[in-house]
Homo-oligomer: A and B are copies of this chain.
Amino acid sequence: MKPVRVGICGLGTVGGGTFNVLTRNAEDIARRAGRPIVIEQVGHRSIHPDCDITGIKATSDVFEVAANPDVDVIVELIGGYDTARELVLAAIENGKHVVTANKALIAVHGNEIFQAAHEKGVIVAFEAAVAGGIPVIKALREGLGANRIEWVAGIINGTGNYILTHMRDEGRAFEDVLAEAQALGYAEADPTFDVEGIDAAHKLTIMASIAYGVPLQFDKAYTEGISRITGEDVDQADNLGYVIKHLGIAKRTENGLELRVHPTLIPKDRLLANVHGVKNAIAVMGDAVGPTLYYGAGAGAEPTASAVVADILDVARDINTAHHYRVPYLAFSGVGEDMNAPAIMPMEDITTAYYLRLLAVDRPGVLARVATILSDNGISIEALIQKEITEGELVPIILMTHRTKERQMNDAIREIESMADIAGAVTRIRVESLDEGE
């Protein structure tokens, strides 16, 4: 059968990896696709040192690849928002299928891109945009297609998980582990994108759209980072039987969809709690299948290339399929047209349990006052630890609450912080049981 001709734009880490995997495993890939996948052209400014493109047609202008009539599929691996958006839209305009690993592009410009692609009848595939090599987009979009998804909860940023893992295992401070992660190349010089949850929110936004058949709404995702987690919190969580993970959570409730990224206490015996270092994992609860989990490398040259090439294989198989028979971009047909589609809830309306840590002056009645404030706001306490004082007069109080509305918790925290006997801000970390069943 006729080969499928690929144009790779960008030959950095992921582009180089994609080039190498397509080349190294060409024979197996052709047997899987039923036809050869050939690299027709590459567009790049610089080349990853592991990548040898001898004999391949190359250009420094990626738009030339998007216009090349001999290219069937554009693989966008240049990253970023603006040029990537222009490139993808140009490729679509030229009737080419698109494979991309760009989570920011899809989360922010996905609705526009899918609309354009739908009009042209071309595929836009983005498995590599979420959790690197883990085929979780395929699982959510196809493998779990029988289910109403109840919730999705994922460790979807390797940098953050690396930091939290080493804070816990080695009793080190956030800044200390972050510096190490930067030295090892697991974290960027400016780590904001990773540790403040923006990258995770991009990925969560994409998964939520696929899970629930709603348009991409990155601007409505709640995002909170891990930079304020202390060793004290890690230890207290451990004492209470929990581990702190930076989770992206999407949940269907009767009031709408929760869409939130924040540090989370989860029970130690959950599989997610045992996902260490830079690895990613996503737990998905479906009404028919129950709890499931997908684990693997969330970044890196070849893991991400694994997902890019899987998408190219899908394109190769679907290239002659009538467009309306293909899997819809966001899993459901008519996304954006469904008037009954659930809305994304404001953070104040979500319901969860909480871990609170506060510093109190050791004076009779302080604890009673805190308990009264919580009670007055309709919040019940599940566990309370008042630590013995080792020195000074401030006593750490650790509380776990039952599930309550975020708004009530905000009110309670405001009141508690206004108490004269409470020092500084209350630390609040959300708690999820993530019942995975036995």
Which residues of A approach B to under 8 Å, CB–CB?
Answer: 1, 17, 21-22, 24-25, 28-29, 31-34, 127, 133-135, 138-139, 142-148, 213, 269, 271, 274-279, 281, 286-297, 300, 302-303, 305-310, 313-314, 317-322, 324-328, 331-334, 338, 437-438
Contact = CB atoms under 8 A, between A and B. Distances in A.
The residue in A24, A271, A281, A324 that gathers the most chain B C-beta atoms within 10 A of its C-beta is A271
Given A320-B322, A325-B317, A288 B25 contact: yes
A289 B271 contact: no
Return the 8 tightest CB-CB contacts between A and B, nearest first: A135-B143, A146-B309, A292-B296, A277-B438, A133-B289, A289-B306, A293-B295, A288-B302
A34 B276 CA distance: 39
Contact of A144 (B135, B274, B290, B333): B135
Nearest to A17: B288
A400 B271 CA distance: 28
Given A317-B326, A318-B325, 8 more contacts: A24-B287, A133-B290, A146-B307, A271-B271, A271-B274, A288-B302, A290-B297, A295-B295
Contact of A146 (B288, B313, B338): B313
Contacts of A32: 145, 327-328, 331-333
Number of copies of this kind of chain in the complex: 2
A300 to B, nearest CB: 8
A295 B294 CA distance: 7
A200 to B, nearest CB: 19
Nearest to A303: B289
25 contacts: A25-B288, A28-B148, A28-B332, A29-B146, A32-B327, A127-B143, A133-B286, A139-B139, A142-B314, A143-B310, A144-B306, A144-B310, A146-B307, A146-B308, A147-B306, A278-B438, A281-B293, A287-B302, A288-B305, A289-B302, A290-B302, A292-B296, A293-B293, A294-B295, A318-B321
B147 A143 contact: no
The residue in A134, A319, A334 that gathers the most chain B C-beta atoms within 10 A of its C-beta is A134
A295 B309 CA distance: 23
The residue in A25, A34, A147 that gathers the most chain B C-beta atoms within 10 A of its C-beta is A147
